[in-house]
Structure 1
Amino acid sequence: MMKAFTLTFLLLAGMALCAIAQNISSFNPGELWLDTDGKHINAHGGGILLHQGKYYWFGEHKVEGRQGNSAMVGVSCYSSADLLNWKNEGIALKVADENSGSEIEKGSIIERPKVIYNKRTKKFVMWFHLELKGKGYDAARTAVAVSDKVTGPYTYLKSFRPNAGEWPQNFKEEWKHKTVQEKDMKAWSQEWKDEVAKGLFIRRDFEKGQMSRDMTVFVDDDGKAYHIHSSEENLTLHLSELSPDYLSFTGKWITIEPAGHNEAPAIFKHKGKYYLITSGCTGWDPNAARSFVAESIWGPWKPLGNPAKGEGAELTFDSQSTYIIPAPGKKDTFIFMADRWRPKNPIDGRYVWLPITFEDDKPVFRWEKSWKLKDSF
């Protein structure tokens, strides 16, 4: 009798949990975010794709313990009609078996996956930051996979360091011929920073390609796509044009905020201007966000300061940017999407989504413990 009662209780409790998960009506930043199966959403460092009226959330699938900072499963995919209630669509990109020789074998590092749709080829294209197994963060590569179906499975194509043999568009001619090297200066001295801004690492990596770590992708109104990533030992952001099929780089690129030490780029377009939100570089620890604006995607990019306002803004409310989402049904409104990293137990990482407003033509977001789309813009 007691056993039957216990089973019945557990069944009812599970059904109640699922019912709660399936009827989320507000965003609750930093709290457990349950999917329609009643499990915490496992899509870290992710991005959102809106396709045929439905939202798809792609992110890093984490596991328990410190090994969870490596790719042990792959890239998750969830779907939603309202950005609140998410259905687990499974693993969109699976890692390969150990000792398979694949660049994305189990134990490699896959970070910040983003998916865009190519209307011309009718392919879904996934870009992500890849570090090869057993090499720490030395590889600093970008990687691409493709699928005929939004939820996958995605087929891994290749990884590489971008823009080998190509100078940035906003690079001065005299900088190409400088001979100063890292060994000639003290790291982090003002002289060293000045030389980084003048291409110290760009020249170093010119032949083999530029480093690519934290990244995002962006499709403009004309269908052209761009890849933005942290490069030059995380000191400078690079913005590169993707080929018409979105599967490679054209060789046209610029630097943004040279030697500024930015990562975690998230980009959006508002009333004809381009806005970029980034973070500083403090490992897994949060720091103050930064923001930039440009009239053209090719710059020049102007710094706007910290977009976070209020108590907790100096640490971006204990989070780090990953993507900017246009708010559904709200013209010229956006949602700031960020992660709270928990490197000791990555699967328990939390999500911080907050509404973006504009003040004096600058993007701004403030902490809200709970908020709804209809009330926050």
Structure 2
Amino acid sequence: MTTDRKDDAPMTQPYDSFHPGQVWLDTKGERIQAHGGSIYYEDGVYYWYGENKEKTVPGSGIWHWGMRAYSSTDLYNWEDRGLIVPPVPDDPSSPLHPSKGADRPHILFNEKTAKYVCWIKVMDEEAMTQSSVVLTADSFLGPYEIVKTGLRPLGMDAGDFDLVVDPETKKAYYYFEKVHTELICAELTDDYTDVTGEFSSHFPHPGPPFTREAPAHFERRGTHYLITSGTTGYFPNFSEAAIAPDLHGPWTVLGDTHPTDASRTSFRSQITSVFRHPAIDDLYIALGDRWLPQLPEDMPNVYDSVAAMTAGGGEARAADAQEASGEDRARMGEIMAAGRGENTAIADYVWLPIRFDGENPVIEWLDEWRLDDQR
């Protein structure tokens, strides 16, 4: 198994297959910038949207340059449709100022209001808060207008999240990481722009790296799934799947979704969302970011190594932490140092199909794959 090309040359366009972890260009020949992204499908067109990181280079002070969208009819070749949520560079107080940690946009369509509703997580280091900004638009590609800023749902700091609509009731739910503690499932108001106050709490942990973040929800055959990652910043770790009969749980943890990855780094990526193909039966695609493409393929066990170096991990994880050898810990320190000052402008994507072993979702490495292979 290999997870890397031997060079940085992008694949030749037009594409007729997926090449996980390799440079992916849009139809203009430029790097696709849709990180922390999701896919929205409407009227035969796929829209891939996410964080525009083209200016997020070391020393720039820029976290994002707006939220960008692309369109496609085949999922391989993507046309740049521009910034659907542009940055606000002239107002440092704006949640959309490039220095603010605005990321992981999620967009829902509300049938009652006929509005597209976009939520964006905002990390404000100066204010030391994590909150949400909510925007609405009359069409998917915008323009979007801010309707709420500084939203701390249920009085909580809200981290990585996912938005879910029940296809039958059209009720919406907001899964978010209550920063460094647990995962919350909060119900949204009828217009999808706020929380109602009804919520449930899941997966409590003592803190990073054990806290589960980056929730990606999908439903299959009446069962709800959540795939989450540990909390190690841009540094990759293992993904964990859980299932439940209801959006509020109770959740049963199934384990690592990447069982063949000895490094336990989700093939050096972080899953941001799961897309169910509208025409291919039982095809679910895990969309992931490879935030630090410079990291080596043969990394040691990242989760246990980071846990061993993290204060306050708790006695419950002490045995796991001891599994990391002294040599691995030293090497992990070197690798983590190499990952600092990250240049997310050159982050790549890892898209892989999910197969199911009974109820267990399994993600295996493929150097190249096609949709037709999954029919």
Which of 191, 206, 210 is matched with 1:245 structurally?
A: 191
For the Cα contact (< 8 Å) 2:184–2:201, is it kept in 1?
yes
Which of 23, 35, 47 is matched with 1:56 structurally?
A: 47
Which of 341, 344, 361 is matched with 2:342 structurally?
A: 344
Work out whether 1:42 is the aligned partner of 2:33: yes
Match of 2:312 in 1: none
Match of 1:171 in 2: none
Change (3 A) 1:300 1:162: farther
Query: Deviation at 1:140?
Result: 1.0
Range moving further from structure 2, 122-131 or 336-345: 336-345
Match of 2:367 in 1: 369
For the Cα contact (< 8 Å) 1:73–1:95, is it kept in 2?
yes
Residues of 2 paired with 1:25 and 1:264: CA distance? 29
> Tell me, what secondary structure is at the counterpart of 1:347?
helix
Change (3 A) 1:359 1:372: same
Match of 2:164 in 1: 218
Work out whether 1:331 is the aligned partner of 2:292: no
Residues of 2 paired with 1:313 and 1:219: CA distance? 34
Residues of 1 paired with 2:89 and 2:267: CA distance? 38
Residues of 2 paired with 1:47 and 1:320: CA distance? 13
Match of 1:99 in 2: 91
> Tell me, what secondary structure is at the counterpart of 2:71?
strand
TM alignment of 1:204-215, pairs within 5 A: 209-215=155-161
Residues of 2 paired with 1:18 and 1:103: CA distance? 34
Work out whether 1:305 is the aligned partner of 2:260: no
Match of 1:84 in 2: 76
Match of 1:227 in 2: 174
1:334-370 Cα offsets, whole Å, 9 max, x none, are 0011101136211100100000011021111101010
Which of 6, 19, 26 is matched with 2:17 structurally?
A: 26
Change (3 A) 1:313 1:244: farther
For the Cα contact (< 8 Å) 1:321–1:338, is it kept in 2?
yes
> Tell me, what secondary structure is at the counterpart of 2:264?
helix
Structure 2 length normalisation: TM-score?
A: 0.79
Query: Deviation at 1:235?
Result: 2.2
Query: Deviation at 1:24?
Result: 0.7
CA RMSD of aligned residues (A): 2.0
Residues of 2 paired with 1:147 and 1:33: CA distance? 29
For the Cα contact (< 8 Å) 2:283–2:374, is it kept in 1?
no
Work out whether 1:142 is the aligned partner of 2:132: yes
In our comparison, the structure showing a higher alpha carbon Rg is 1
Equivalences, count? 313
Residues of 2 paired with 1:300 and 1:18: CA distance? 44
Which amino acid in structure 2 is aligned with residue 340 of structure 1?
A: R
Range moving further from structure 2, 64-73 or 80-89: 64-73
Which amino acid in structure 1 is aligned with residue 89 of structure 2?
A: D
Which amino acid in structure 1 is aligned with residue 246 of structure 2?
A: S
Consecutive unaligned residues in structure 1, runs of 5 or more: 1-16, 165-208
Match of 2:216 in 1: 266
For the Cα contact (< 8 Å) 1:18–1:36, is it kept in 2?
no
Residues of 2 paired with 1:18 and 1:275: CA distance? 34
Change (3 A) 1:329 1:129: same
Residues of 1 paired with 2:64 and 2:58: CA distance? 11
Which amino acid in structure 1 is aligned with residue 243 of structure 2?
A: V
1:10-43 Cα offsets, whole Å, 9 max, x none, are xxxxxxx99943x211110000111111111011
Consecutive unaligned residues in structure 2, runs of 5 or more: 1-8, 293-340
> Tell me, what secondary structure is at the counterpart of 1:324?
strand
Change (3 A) 1:88 1:69: farther
1:86-109 Cα offsets, whole Å, 9 max, x none, are 110000001213335323223111
1:176-212 Cα offsets, whole Å, 9 max, x none, are xxxxxxxxxxxxxxxxxxxxxxxxxxxxxxxxx0110
Change (3 A) 1:261 1:113: same
Residues of 2 paired with 1:55 and 1:332: CA distance? 18
Residues of 1 paired with 2:372 and 2:263: CA distance? 24
Range moving further from structure 2, 153-162 or 249-258: 153-162
Match of 2:298 in 1: none
Range moving further from structure 2, 44-53 or 269-278: 44-53
For the Cα contact (< 8 Å) 2:35–2:51, is it kept in 1?
yes
> Tell me, what secondary structure is at the counterpart of 1:375?
helix
Residues of 1 paired with 2:11 and 2:260: CA distance? 35
Change (3 A) 1:18 1:289: closer
For the Cα contact (< 8 Å) 2:230–2:238, is it kept in 1?
yes
Query: Deviation at 1:118?
Result: 1.1
Which of 234, 244, 252 is matched with 1:284 structurally?
A: 234
Which amino acid in structure 2 is aligned with residue 363 of structure 1?
A: P
For the Cα contact (< 8 Å) 2:242–2:254, is it kept in 1?
yes
Percent identical across equivalent pairs? 34
Residues of 2 paired with 1:157 and 1:67: CA distance? 32
Residues of 1 paired with 2:56 and 2:150: CA distance? 29
Residues of 2 paired with 1:225 and 1:49: CA distance? 16
Residues of 2 paired with 1:19 and 1:363: CA distance? 29
Work out whether 1:114 is the aligned partner of 2:106: yes
Work out whether 1:125 is the aligned partner of 2:72: no
